[in-house]
Chains A and B, each alone.
Chain A
Amino acid sequence: MILVNPVVDILLISGLAAVIVPLLGGLVRAEKRFLGIVGVLAYIALLAYLLQPDVWGSIHRYEPFQGLFSSSLTLDGFSKFFILVFSILAIPVYLHSIDYMARDRNLVLYYTLTGIMMFGLIGLSMADDLFTFFVFWEAMAISSYVLVGFRYHLDEPVEAAVKYLVMSGVASLLMLYGISIIYGLVGSLRISAVVAYLQGGVTGQAIYPVLLAATLLFIGFGVKAAYFPFWTWLPDAHPAAPSPISALLSGIVIKAGIVGLAKFALPFIDLLDEVFYPILVIVTVVTITLANLMALMQSDVKRLLAYSSIANIGFVLIGYVSALYGAGVVGLAAAFSHVLSHALGKGLAFLAVGGILYVLHSRAIVDLEGFGKRYPGLSIALMIALLSLSGLPPLPGFWSKWLLILSAWEAGEYLIAGVGVFNSVLAAIYYLWLFQRIFFSEPRIESRVEVPGYLLTSLTILIFIMVAIGIYPELMYSYAFEAAKALAPLLATP
């Protein structure tokens, strides 16, 4: 069933999830926490809508304000894949919030902002020109600043939100500056026009503004995706947010930078590969290695997971490097399947840690010792997430890392492939060490709080999806390859 146009319908469904909440919030007097159900229903509806044969089967376009904004949105394999990833994580996050946020105030604001953030993410994955992308990007970014500082009666969230806002705000503005230079060069912000301009050959003096624009885009996406050296806000902001929001931030909001990098920056990097090849390789290697070493030293479990998110962004970059320098579509598909497997794994890890916070009120790894004996449900969820993140078969993390390293090897990037293998082992060490302390130590803290039902349901959904992908990796690969094929025309090397 298509109402107007699939693009409009998808924006309408996810927009309604944000808009209805304040209206319902005025009507519902008690138990405002159940407003989370609105989000759950909306994203189930969105998934059902997206997987209809006539929506999934073909490419849809929508161009509002013709001539004026030259704004355009496309629903192709790439955006379908990312909308799928975003919606799959949104459902358990909303369910988890019902229990986790039950004791907080301003729940109407919380669900509205979460809805706007998801709306921005879904819109920017469909944006086909840089300015539409920027508008959705800001909708997503500004609501995420407020959500990081949501518990403003505590010290840590306020500080983290200030740091996040200043760094990310500057980055967004620098990105817009880059977009203005691209407009000056091309005269249009459509990605097809930009690619045509770049593939037409840029020579002589014109190379310098193109280089400047590419650098500004690289910085703008880099701060959001948090690769080296722009990651400094992430280890503060992600742990400070409420746990369901940490799951969204680490799982999919940092992937917004990856979406932008893939769709809008890769054509530039492809053209300027003599300049960007060393930068990209250094960024990838340093991001993975340094973030993993920092994660080894953490004593706070949410901070550890935040550093591991940075390391995983480095893994996604491996896919981009190999896509640009030989592997083509396979590299992109590897990067995208890692986006999916990391979103599921890190989402589950943060939601499980949220459950632990709910019953223990402590984030210190020391306090988690022996936790597995008291709360087997939460611990099994955390265990599955950690095993997937450390890349043990047969979970999604293994399949995506395997394809990543394979694609780097095929592209002849032996250094990058070696770094990937080394860091998989390094990451496995700290995940398994955490795992061992949780399950095989004597309990330190006695807790009598029971784990609430919606929270456990949200974990169960994610575990089920992860095991399903682990057993049939074809599910993940086929969608990721479709997404990569949609981007192939942007690259000069097929």
Chain B
Amino acid sequence: MIMESLLFTSVALVAIGLYMVSTKKNLMKIVIGLEILATGVNLSFIAMGYIRTGGLTDPLPQAIVVTAIVLDGVLVGVALALTLVVFRRFKTLDVDKLRNLRW
């Protein structure tokens, strides 16, 4: 039971993150989407560790998740700094208003 709910939550978080990154126009919301995506991925590691050993005893996913959280922190730090620069330069956070930003 706990296994399915962990896996399901991680898939849902990844889906929500992808949806936010691809549809939202506000840069702040895109950064939040990135963070939700990262959380889903980390939860997936924990779930996989649980599946393999039937408990939280395998050190590999734990070590990976701790490192991945640090890396996400750096990524979001850079993203927020860029968001600040964008706001100061363009006085908007709407990605559609930026000239070259077409994806």
Q: Which of B30, B47, B78 has the most CB of A within 10 A?
A: B78
Picked from A149, A169, A180, A233, the residue with its CB within 8 Å of the CB of B85 is A149
Enumerate chain B interface residues (CB-CB to A < 8 A).
14, 17-18, 21, 27, 30, 34, 37-38, 40-41, 44-45, 47-49, 51-52, 59-61, 63-64, 67-68, 71, 74-75, 78-79, 82-83, 85-86, 89-90, 95, 98-103
Asked if A343 is at the interface of the complex by the 8 Å CB criterion, the answer is no
Residues of A within 8 A of B27 (CB): 162
> For the complex, what is the distance from the CA of A282 to the CA of B27, rounded to whole Å?
33
> For the complex, what is the distance from the CA of A142 to the CA of B72, rounded to whole Å?
10
> For the complex, what is the distance from the CA of A23 to the CA of B27, rounded to whole Å?
35
Taking A173-B41, A183-B61 as contacts, is the C-beta distance between A236 and B100 under 8 angstroms? yes
- B41 near A176 with CB under 8 A, answer yes
Residues of A within 8 A of B40 (CB): 177
Residues of A within 8 A of B49 (CB): 183
Taking A152-B85, A159-B98, A176-B41 as contacts, is the C-beta distance between A170 and B60 under 8 angstroms? no
- A170 near B101 with CB under 8 A, answer no
Taking A159-B98, A159-B100, A176-B68 as contacts, is the C-beta distance between A165 and B63 under 8 angstroms? no
Asked if A279 is at the interface of the complex by the 8 Å CB criterion, the answer is no
Pairs A–B under 8 Å by Cβ, sample size 7 = A68-B60, A158-B82, A159-B98, A162-B82, A163-B101, A173-B38, A180-B44
Residues of A within 8 A of B61 (CB): 180, 183
Q: How far is the CB of A129 from chain B (nearest CB, A)?
A: 10
- A183 near B75 with CB under 8 A, answer no
> For the complex, what is the distance from the CA of A187 to the CA of B71, rounded to whole Å?
22
Q: Which of A69, A134, A161, A169 has the most CB of B within 10 A?
A: A169
Taking A173-B37, A173-B41, A183-B60 as contacts, is the C-beta distance between A163 and B100 under 8 angstroms? yes
Picked from B30, B41, B85, the residue with its CB within 8 Å of the CB of A177 is B41
Known: A70-B60, A176-B68. 14 other contacts (CB 8 A): A68-B63, A69-B63, A131-B64, A142-B78, A145-B82, A149-B85, A161-B82, A162-B27, A163-B100, A165-B75, A181-B48, A188-B60, A232-B103, A236-B100
